[in-house]
Structure 1
Amino acid sequence: MGESAPKVMVVDDHPIWRDAVARDLADDGFEVVATADGVAAARRRAAVVRPDVVVMDMRLTDGTGAQATAEVLAVSPDTKVLVLSASDERDDVLEAVKAGATGYLVKSASKAELGEAVRATAQGRAVFTPGLAGLVLGEYRRMAARPDRDAATPSLTERETEVLRYVAKGLSAKQIATRLSLSHRTVENHVQATFRKLQVANRVELARYAIEHGLDE
């Protein structure tokens, strides 16, 4: 990978786990430019090193991975965030996606899977597990069913819904592409589009909350 090795920052509050992930990524050819144990440290270091990818834990010393994701992207907008999470933190992961994370990997993933996920994230591809696909679908259904829903809240196209449904069943992008006669890349684009829409939807929700509570004055 040489000169073009993606620059990675690892954010985790457990020193042993953090060091192990950083070491695995360095062994895999990535340039690990920083580590951090919390929200404030992640923001501070991201502003200086501008990493290509942040591997983000969900439980931090001074907050959550979702807060840290928002803070990192505020100071380094081109950075991509890959959440590395224990599987029992699914609601937190959804919050991280709303804050701007573009990928999600469970902590039980192998060293090879981690390297592949970081590489895909650096290339702007969405890394996505079945559990999260089901969550995202559920979130859109919840938003669509709301009586006060308005045109500003984005909804999924039929094709995006179909792709997410297959991901939720555990099919790979390659398998989905074959089944729907699409290219592998098109399937990934649909997944990315749903991530982006969820972030937009979250901003719409925030704006609505601000207006309803007079916070916009």
Structure 2
Amino acid sequence: MVIEIVTHEDVYLDEYYLNRGTTGEDKHIVSNLVMYSDSYIAGDRITPAVARRILREDTFNFSKLGAYGNAWLIFALSSILKCSLFAIYPQKGNPVVRSHLNREVCPRMTKSSDIVYLMWTSTRTKEMRDEHWIPNHCVPVLPLQSNDQEKGDNSLVENSHDSSTSIDFDLDSFSLCSLEMLVNPIDIDLMQPDPLTEVHPEADLMQPDPMTEVHPEVDLM
């Protein structure tokens, strides 16, 4: 995503491009993205030069291990996946912010009609009241199936390799339990080694291999 933004920096500062996918035009979308950035100092006048500097600072900060992303990274992810993303903003915090960030995001080039769903969340949820809630990253959202669907309909799994297969997402079917898990994600210590190990191919499969290789941690954001 860092390479995507660095390579196409002008695209991610273009008002017309950033407005694609929204239900209503946001005439100041670049300024809004700047104001929602941790790199922005409240009160600073937002000029094109300031917006470009903030985008570069955010992109550089995101390249660090354990860093969290922002709305610009969602646009970049959409372009990398070459499909639309829908970022769900919970009924928390400032409603004006929600109107800007609860939206569909379109890629630079589309190769799939699928829509990937994400939800804004925060590692600081326990420290904030609902009315002051501010997100700092996104998590993936998956549709829920009933027991009957799980037993009788495996077509989604069987056809998951087909890019034309779409997943219908119904917000009404999204359980409170799942919502709580997404709003309060489990903290993962990126500095701890992964307990999973990989057996060397030359080892005798009938005997435990004393030599193991720890998988490196992968920062998905």
Q: TM-score, normalised by structure 1?
A: 0.29
More helix as a share of residues: 1
User: Greater CA radius of gyration, 1 or 2?
Assistant: 2
